[in-house]
Structure 1
């Protein structure tokens, strides 16, 4: 079982007790506004997401971690690594992403969790390069990418939704742990 402890968080694989909390996060329009077409996701869609994330762990040796607060045991959301297959222009590559419930914003959890995921990618999984993609205008995600040391690489248009995306990247030679 892959787990990562940070000062305030536990990054771990998913279990069935996470479904309701993650579905609540996915049902919040403010959380979802910068994701995909901005639509919220229901319980069934969230269950499908978690199943797909776990399959990626089994197939790729990495995936999206459930992010749990160490102090309370609450599920804050997810962070981790994924293959950005919905963005074929970026393939083959590995992307880093995160999504936290609104009550967990502004406390540094996204940066803390994403930093641990990036370290996992570059040092534990031996990846040479990781990308981060944020919608243009999503300043909170852009700030996390900057804190990770990722450099702006280019802008592209989402092939399905048509909005502009800012692609950032970092490779092992640039990473300062």
Structure 2
């Protein structure tokens, strides 16, 4: 009788641990997908920023040659000259936070450790530091979009022929 009770108790504990493990695994998969999406967004911002940095000089030269009132207005816009550098440092900051908080999972971790790691993921997204960083990235993205406006402006003013080479990434935007 005692052996049967011990067996039932052990089985019950095993089932509880298994449920906890599965629940923690689901949470980790969810946060993993969320992080993957965030990284894809960050990568997209980085590509746009690099493209913007590469073409700024070309379009600024084109605008300098244009004597129209509209060109004068565009020249007077405050354009962030350190856009690429600023974006790069923000991306490094985010990568450092992600690497610190989400180290590769080990099979030796017990369900409690998995749940704590999942809780760390929640903490990561709630932490004000990364929220501020993502907000800063949004401002960088806005600056990139403004510079893309210069691309459209230069194309409309028929300045494309005066530029050296239009980067392939811009072919579908012009």
- TM-score over 0.5 for the pair: no
Q: Which has the higher contact order (CA 8 A, sep 6+)?
A: 2
Q: Which structure: greater strand fraction?
A: 1
* Structure whose CA Rg is larger: 2
Scaled by the length of structure 1, the TM-score of the pair is: 0.23
Q: Which structure: greater helix fraction?
A: 2
